[in-house]
Structure 1
C-alpha cells in the first residue's frame, strides 16, 4: 500500500481528522500489510545515486516504527508462550528425563546465539546431540552426533519447547529469522549486509517454511530480507499457520556418503 499526505479510496474519511489522529488510526491498517510513503518512492526515483546490479530493490516503511505492530507482536509472543506452557507443561519432565537417560549430559541445552543487533544471548533447547559435539551449524554436524531421542524431538520440533523462556525474556519472537551461532560468521555477515541483523530472531520464520536453511548464507539473507520488507500481521499469521501445518523445519543435518545416517 502506498500512502501520502492525503488519503484516498476507503481511507478518504481520515482526511477530515487532524493529521495526528489520522496517523494513529492508520497504524493498525499499516500493521497488517507492507506499506510505503510516496515520498520514499519519489526520493528513490529522483536520487542521483544509480543502483547497479540486478538484485531486487524493496522500498518499505519499517514495521518496527509502527507501535501497533510492535504491541500486537509482543502480546502475541506472551500469548504463545502461555499457550505452550499450559498445553505442553506435562511434556517437559518426560522429555528431560528421556534425554538424560539416553546420553550423559544436561537435559536442557543452553547455547549462545546471535540476537538482535548482533548481540549474543542464551538460547534454550532440549539437548538433541551428544555432549562434546563441535559448535557448528546443524548442516555441518556429523549425523552420528544426534541421539535417537534427539532425532525424534527435532523432527517434531519438540526440542524447541524451552525457548518459551526466550519468548518471555524478549530475546526471541514468534516469527523472525532463526538465530545462528556466533561461529557462523558467514551467516552473520550476509545478514548484516542485507540489513536483517536489526530483526529479533524468531522461533519460526519465512525462510523456514520455504525450506531455506543456513547452509546457503546468501540465499538465507535474501529470504530474511524479503521477510523484513513484506512483513505484516497477515504474513506473520500465515507463517505461524504454515509452521503448525508442518512446513516449518529445523536446519537438517547433511548426510554424505561417508557418514552414517542417524538412528
Structure 2
C-alpha cells in the first residue's frame, strides 16, 4: 500500500497546488498586506518513526508579548482574519508542500509536537508507524471536540486498519466538517489543551 499511497498523495497534492495556486497567492498577499507577522507559520512536528520535520501553515496569530517577553495567550493573539482561516481550514493548505516532499500524507494521524514523544503509551506511539496526515480519522470523527485519548484511539485504529479505500472515505468525510466548520475549536476554547500524558483527560 505504501508505494501506491505515496504516488496517490504526490499526484493529488500536485494537482491541488496547481488548482489552488490563485487562492494561495491571494492569501499570501492578504497576510503580507496586514503585516501582523510572517506569512507562514513554521513549527517542528513529529513524523513517521518519530523523525522531526517542519510543518508549514498560513499564520493565524500575531506575535505580541507581555512585559517579560512571553507570548500572550492564543486567544489574545488570534487575529480576525486568522480566525477565519482556521474556521475554513485554509491555513492548512501549505501542508500540501509537505505532502510533495514526502514528510506528510493526505491522510494519517495529525503531526504533534516533539515534546509529546515521552508521554505516549506504547500503543499511542504506534501513530508514528505511518506518515502524519493533513486530515485523518480523528479529524472526521470529532476533531478538536475529542479528548486526547479518543484521538489516539482513532489514530491507532487507522494504523492497524489503514487501506486505500479507507483513505478515500476519510477524504470524502473531510468535506462535511470543512463546509460546516464543525469542531474547529475545543468546547469553550480557541486553542487545544496541551497533552500532558495519560494521567489527564483533555
Q: TM-score range by the shorter chain?
A: 0.7 to 0.9
SS of residue paired to 1:246: helix
CA contact (8 A) 2:145 2:183 kept: no
**C-alpha distance 254-183 of structure 1, shift in aligned 2 (>3 A):** farther
Give the conservation status (yes or no) of the 8 Å contact 2:144–2:186. Answer: no
Q: TM-score, normalised by structure 1?
A: 0.61
Indicate the SS of the match to 1:111: strand
Distance 1:221 1:118, change over 3 A: same
Correspondence for 1:117? 49
Residue of 151, 162, 166 corresponding to 1:235: 166
1:245 aligns with 2:176: yes
Question: Aligned equivalents of 1:146 and 1:254: distance in 2?
Answer: 17
Displacement of 1:71 in angstroms is: 2.1
Q: Distance in 2 between matches of 1:191 and 1:120?
A: 19
User: Match of 1:255?
Assistant: 188
Shift of 1:194: 4.8
Which of these residues, 102, 117, 124, is aligned with residue 34 of structure 2? 102
Structure 1 partner of 2:138: 207
* Structure 1 gap ranges (5+): 1-68, 134-140, 257-263
State how far apart, in whole Å, the 2-side matches of 1:102 and 1:190 are. Answer: 43
Query: Is it true that 1:225 corresponds to 2:167 in the alignment?
Result: no
Query: Within 2, Cα distance between the matches of 1:101 and 1:183?
Result: 34
Q: In the alignment, does 2:15 pair up with 1:83?
A: yes
1:155-170 equivalence runs, <5 A: 155-170=87-102
Q: CA deviation at 1:223?
A: 1.2
1:138-217 residue pairs with structure 2 within 5 A?
Answer: 142-185=74-117, 189-190=120-121, 193-213=124-144, 216-217=147-148
Whole-angstrom CA distance in 1 between matches of 2:42 and 2:183? 17
| Cα root mean square deviation, aligned | 2.5
Gaps (5+ residues) in structure 2? 66-72, 190-202
Count of matched residue positions in the alignment of Structure 1 and Structure 2: 180
